[in-house]
């Protein structure tokens, strides 16, 4: 069962990717222009980094520091 945070992450990633109804990993791959990567791998690819954890890579993408993953992506999407 998906948690609210998981659903919220999927929602913001779908908004950033211009997709609808994908799970977070699918939306992350669509946004990053990749296929078959794990969620964090796709986001690291998008950010041009390797090895960052979820919150770290989301903050890198958003140009923020110290936010949770969903908060950073909402900031990037203009909905924070």
Output the pLDDT for position 68.
96
pTM for the predicted model, two decimal places:
0.92
pLDDT, position 6: 67
Tokens describing residue 36: 């078959």
24 phi and psi, to 5 degrees?
-55, -45
What pLDDT, on the 0 to 100 scale, is given for residue 3? 66
For the chain, residues with pLDDT lower than 50 are 1
Segments in the chain forming alpha helices (H): 4-17, 24-32, 39-47, 54-62, 69-77
CA neighbours within 13 Å on the CB side: how many for 29?
11
């Amino acid at each position: 069962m998906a948690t609210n945070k998981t659903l919220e992450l999927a929602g913001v990633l779908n908004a950033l990717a211009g997709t609808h109804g994908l799970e977070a990993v699918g939306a992350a791959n669509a946004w990053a222009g990749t296929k078959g990567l794990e969620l964090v791998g796709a986001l690291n690819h998008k950010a041009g980094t390797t090895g960052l954890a979820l919150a770290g890579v989301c903050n890198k993408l958003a140009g923020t520091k110290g936010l949770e993953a969903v908060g950073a992506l909402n900031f990037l999407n203009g909905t924070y």
